[in-house]
């Protein structure tokens, strides 16, 4: 019995020892294989990876345009960092193509003669022809600029005034005939300054019948309304080149009234065809608790047909008479302008605003609005139902400010763009700008582009600019781009109907060069709350394609007027859903799709950039569902409370809004209205 037990123990010990030996042998074999692999791998790394990195700078890799490209192309290379779930991976071929122009300022978007050939008969053939001509002209201008044919020294040399009207004179006067000969415009060569005043001697014309509903509101049963009104405007004639001059002050007396049918004086400002909130004086003096302008009331009182006494009610007036209280003697004045009666009007620039006197009596004061200073008021116009006898301007500035907008550039390293980092970029913001918008770009650099997310390169922002018709503007533009490093030049001759090409370039740069998860487009007069925009994009699930903005649904094209669209251009009765152009966000897969379709010559171009984007997103939506996110906080007109973006902001408003954003816990507008 004992022998059997011992034999079993011996067999167990023998089995255990053999198993132990096999384990050791396997361990040695694994270790040997590891040494062999390491020995082979290290030279391979030095022969391939490190040599490549030492010859070319690290750069963010481009990505494929759509899921179709993933199937048609080679296996993707390893990205530098993590890849967005809604974006495709880059290929080595695309990477090599990308490196050719990454160091320059010209867009990598592929332009050639075939890019603007349109085979489909969708009404966009004329726009494609215009795009081809603009591309050829722009390419020629850029080649001349690159070759040095345009000399910077000759452009930057200060020119002497061509005629006497460009000299800074302390006073300017025009008679009736001179005023008419100048197109009803008095030029103020160097603008106004504190204490400057303009005196107008004129006479309102007799009222005439008016049927235009934009001028007179007709009531039921009325065929016409008697109207007598005139406009006096201070305009910034030298502020913006190629656009309607801003109305720095719009003064509009309506002798027969408007909808109220009682005399009224309306004052306002207008920037880029967008009117501010009007200030109306209707015969009542401004309230005691209302803010004043240099101590003067915004509106003075005049006699109204419905109340020829003071502000107090009739009951109060009779009560004071009964108790014998002495009534304070007041002087009541009629409306300051009368048909056929001569008047002397004086406009004076004060410390806080403009003051208007008529026949020696103060009638209204209009506070300065953020956006323009008195130096910008370089022209006075008078139009409407008025005979102008003479105009005299005095106490004008005698020093000549530079009206060249590029002189507003501050060549400081503080405003330079941060270089692209290896870290993943959440948001790319492409800013549409015109070549001569030096002031607007500088305001953006000094305002929301100073956000910590932009400075840390977690958000990247670039201006997209086309070639300008004036060589001196292109020279300054190239100098600006070389210094700040935040301008991408799209090589075509700029044209409003071809802004859509800049949008495609934004999609290409944001998706392929920067490799951002989200692509945003805005204008250079749009103030962007960067953190709010990113938070809005992150609310959408990462695996979803999205289109975020102030979405227009079932919007119909205008068939007449300045923005008319013909049936040849757009035959359908409604546009697809589209976000207003001043600010919207896309997921990166949509931007890749747009660029891919453009390169395949399958992308339809439309003269309205925002409608074009809606059209492209709708096409993408046929293959992959898109989540449309509508928000009014992407403000189309001006600024609203708790905005994400604010549009039509002047350069000074941009700086004001940034200052308020730094000082306040909640975003505030700078409308001054």
Over its C-alpha atoms, the chain yields an Rg (Å, rounded) of: 34
CA 248, 609, 504, 629 torsion-angle sign: positive
Q: How far is CA 149 from CA 385, 474, 475, in A?
A: 52, 12, 11
Over residues 149-153, mean pLDDT = 62
Which of 225-239, 315-329, 483-497 has the highest mean predicted lDDT (pLDDT)?
A: 483-497
Using one digit for the tens of pLDDT, what is the confidence trace for 96-134? 334 334 446 888 887 766 666 655 555 566 777 888 888
d(Cα 334, Cα 206) in Å, to the nearest integer? 18
**Domain stop point among 394, 414, 434:** 394
Whether residue 351 lies inside any domain: the answer is yes
Please state, for a pLDDT cut of 70, what percent of the chain lies above it.
71
Q: Helix 588-599 crosses helix 609-621 at what angle (to 10 degrees)? A: 100
Model confidence at 139, pLDDT cuts 50, 70, 90, reads confident
* CATH number where 350 lies: 2.60.120.200
Q: Residues 229, 358: one domain?
A: yes
| 245-265 pLDDT per residue, tens | 889 999 999 998 776 778 999
pLDDT digits (tens, 9 = 90+) for 303-343: 876 554 444 455 665 566 566 655 554 557 899 999 999 99
Question: Is residue 454 in a domain?
Answer: yes
Q: What share of the chain is helix, strand, coil (3-state, %, to 5)?
A: 35, 20, 45
Structural domain contains residue 552:
no
The backbone torsions φ and ψ at residue 307, rounded to the nearest 5 degrees and listed phi first, read -165, 105
Q: What is the CATH number of the domain that holds 504?
A: 3.90.550
Q: Mean of the pLDDT values across residues 635-641?
A: 86
- Render pLDDT for 561-579 as a digit per residue (tens, 0 to 9): 656 788 888 888 899 999 9
CA distances to 308, 311, 318, 319, 320 from 315, rounded to whole Å, are 14, 12, 5, 6, 9
Q: 174 - beta bridge partners?
A: 391
Backbone phi, psi, residue 490, to 5°: -100, 110
Q: Which two tokens stand for residue 228?
A: 């007598």
Q: What crossing angle do the helices spanning 499-508 and 609-621 adopt, rounded to 10°? A: 50
What is the reported pLDDT for 448? Answer: 95
Q: How far apart are CA 493 and CA 487, in angstroms?
A: 16
Q: Is the pLDDT of residue 490 over 60?
A: yes
Task: Please state whether the predicted TM-score (pTM) of the whole model is above 0.85.
Answer: no
Q: Which residue has the higher pLDDT, 55 or 455?
A: 455
Give the per-residue pLDDT at 651: 85
Q: What is the pLDDT of residue 577?
A: 94
Residues 120 and 209 in one domain: no
Please state the rounded mean pLDDT for residues 574-600: 93
197 versus 168: which is more confidently predicted?
197
Query: Over 70: is that where the pLDDT of 634 sits?
Result: yes
Which tokens sit at 663? 């000082």
Residues facing 235 on adjacent strands:
247, 379
Asked whether residue 120 falls in the same domain as residue 265, the answer is: no
How many structural domains does the chain have? 2
Q: Are 331 and 361 in contact (CB under 8 A)?
A: no
Residues 329 and 259 in one domain: yes
Q: State residue 100's pLDDT score.
A: 36
pLDDT-derived band of residue 418, with 50, 70 and 90 as boundaries? confident
The helix (run of H) or strand (run of E) holding residue 201 is: strand 197-204
- The owner of tokens 């890019």 is 115
Least confident range from 56-70, 100-114, 453-467, 546-560: namely 56-70
Specify the higher pLDDT residue, 584 or 327.
584
Task: Decide if 330 is inside a domain.
Answer: yes
Q: What secondary structure does DSSP assign to 231-275, as a single string?
A: EEEEE-TTTSTTSPPPEEEEEEEETT-STT-S-EEEEEEEETTEE
The pLDDT assigned to 521 comes to 96
Tell me the residue ranges of DSSP E strands in 314-397.
343-349, 353-358, 361-367, 379-384, 386-394
Residue 340 falls within a domain, yes or no?
Answer: yes
Domain hosting residue 351, numbered range? 169-394
- The first and second tokens of residue 376, run together, are 């910008």
* Residue 97 is assigned to a structural domain of this protein: no
- DSSP assignment string, 43-71: HHHHHTHHHHHHHS---PPP--SSHHHHH
pLDDT of 160 higher than 60: no
Which residue from 65, 476, 593, 244 is spatially nearest to 489, judged by alpha carbons?
476
Res 163 pLDDT > 60: no
Band of residue 276 on the pLDDT scale cut at 50, 70, 90:
confident
Residue 126 lies in a domain: yes
Contact 71, 598 (CB under 8 A): no
In a shared domain, residues 142 and 212: no
Q: Choose among 271, 337, 327, 332: nearest CA to 304.
A: 332
Same domain, 120 and 176: no
> What pLDDT, on the 0 to 100 scale, is given for residue 544?
93
Has residue 185 been placed in a domain? yes
Residues 606 and 494 placed together within one structural domain of the fold: yes
DSSP 559-612: -SSTT---TTT--SSSPPPEEEEEEEEEEHHHHHHHHHHHHTT-PPP-SSHHHH
**Which residue in this structure is represented by tokens 């990308």?**
98
Instruction: Give yes or no: residues 460 and 382 share one domain.
Output: no
Whether residue 224 is found in the same domain as residue 295: yes
Please indicate, yes or no, whether residues 140 and 225 belong to a single structural domain of this protein: no
Confidence at 209, pLDDT banded by 50, 70, 90: confident
Q: Indicate if 175 and 291 belong to the same structural domain.
A: yes
Range in 70-84, 208-222, 226-240, 650-664 with the lowest mean pLDDT = 70-84
Together in a domain, 366 and 471: no
| Mean pLDDT, range 159-186, rounded to an integer | 80
pLDDT band at 20 (very low <50, low <70, confident <90, very high): low
* Residue-wise pLDDT tens digits, 376-397: 888 999 999 999 999 999 999 8
CA distance 85 to 673: 45
Distances in Å between the alpha carbon of 51 and those of 54, 97, 102, 505? Answer: 5, 19, 20, 32
């Amino acid at each position: 019995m004992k022998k059997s037990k011992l034999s079993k123990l011996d067999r167990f010990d023998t089995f255990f020892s053999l198993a132990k030996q096999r384990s050791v042998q396997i361990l040695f074999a694994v270790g040997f294989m590891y040494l062999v692999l390491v020995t082979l791998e290290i030279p391979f790394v030095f022969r391939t990876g490190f040599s490549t990195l030492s010859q070319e700078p690290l750069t963010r890799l481009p990505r494929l345009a759509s899921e179709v490209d993933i199937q048609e192309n080679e296996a993707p290379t390893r990205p530098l960092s993590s890849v967005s779930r809604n974006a495709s991976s880059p290929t080595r071929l695309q990477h090599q193509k990308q490196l050719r122009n990454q160091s320059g300022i010209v867009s990598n978007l592929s332009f050639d003669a075939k890019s603007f050939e349109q085979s489909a008969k969708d009404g966009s053939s004329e726009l494609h022809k215009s795009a081809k001509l603009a591309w050829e002209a722009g390419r020629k201008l850029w080649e001349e600029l690159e070759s040095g044919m345009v000399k910077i020294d000759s452009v930057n040399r200060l020119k002497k005034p061509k005629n006497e009207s460009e000299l800074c004179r302390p006073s300017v006067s025009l008679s009736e005939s001179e005023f008419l000969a100048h197109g009803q415009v008095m030029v103020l060569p160097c603008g106004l300054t504190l204490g400057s005043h303009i005196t107008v001697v004129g006479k309102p014309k007799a009222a005439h019948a008016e049927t235009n509903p934009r001028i007179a509101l007709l009531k039921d049963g009325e065929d016409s309304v008697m109207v007598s009104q005139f406009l006096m405007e201070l305009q910034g004639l030298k502020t913006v080149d190629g656009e309607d001059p801003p109305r720095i002050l719009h003064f509009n007396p309506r002798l027969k009234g408007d909808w109220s049918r009682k005399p009224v004086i309306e004052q306002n400002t207008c920037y880029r065809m967008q009117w501010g909130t009007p200030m109306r004086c209707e015969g009542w003096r401004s309230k005691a608790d209302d803010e004043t302008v240099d101590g003067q009331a915004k509106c003075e009182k005049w006699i109204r047909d419905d109340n020829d006494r003071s502000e107090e009610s009739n009951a109060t007036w009779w009560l004071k008479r009964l108790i014998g209280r002495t009534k304070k003697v007041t002087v009541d004045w009629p409306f300051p302008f009368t048909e056929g009666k001569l008047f002397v009007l004086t406009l004076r620039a004060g410390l806080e605003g403009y003051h208007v006197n008529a026949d020696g009596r103060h009638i209204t004061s209009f506070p300065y609005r953020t956006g323009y200073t008195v130096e910008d008021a370089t022209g006075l116009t008078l139009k409407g139902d008025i005979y102008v006898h003479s105009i005299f301007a005095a106490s004008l500035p005698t020093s000549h400010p530079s009206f060249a907008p590029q002189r507003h550039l501050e060549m400081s390293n503080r405003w330079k763009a941060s270089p692209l980092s290896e870290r993943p970029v959440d948001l790319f913001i492409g800013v549409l700008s015109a070549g001569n918008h030096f002031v607007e770009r500088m305001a953006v650099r000094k305002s929301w582009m100073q956000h910590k997310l932009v400075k840390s390169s977690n958000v990247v922002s670039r201006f997209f600019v086309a070639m300008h018709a004036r060589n001196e503007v292109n020279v300054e533009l190239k100098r600006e781009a070389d210094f700040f490093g935040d301008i991408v030049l799209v090589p075509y001759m700029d044209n409003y109907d071809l802004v859509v090409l800049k949008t495609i370039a934004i999609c290409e740069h944001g998706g392929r060069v920067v490799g951002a998860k989200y692509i945003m487009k805005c204008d250079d007069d749009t103030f962007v709350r960067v953190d709010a925009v990113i938070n809005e994009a992150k609310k959408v699930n990462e695996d979803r394609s999205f289109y975020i903005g102030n979405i227009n649904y079932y919007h119909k094209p205008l068939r007449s007027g300045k923005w008319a669209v013909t049936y040849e251009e757009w035959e359908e009765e409604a546009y697809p859903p589209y976000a207003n152009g001043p600010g919207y966000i896309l997921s990166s897969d949509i931007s890749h799709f747009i660029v891919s379709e453009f390169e395949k010559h399958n992308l339809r171009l439309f003269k309205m950039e925002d409608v074009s984007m809606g059209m492209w997103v709708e096409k993408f939506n046929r293959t992959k569902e898109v989540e449309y996110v509508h928000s009014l906080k992407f403000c189309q007109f001006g600024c609203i409370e708790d905005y994400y973006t604010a549009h039509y902001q002047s350069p000074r408003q941009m700086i004001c809004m940034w200052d308020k954003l730094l000082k306040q816990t909640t975003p505030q507008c700078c409308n001054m209205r």
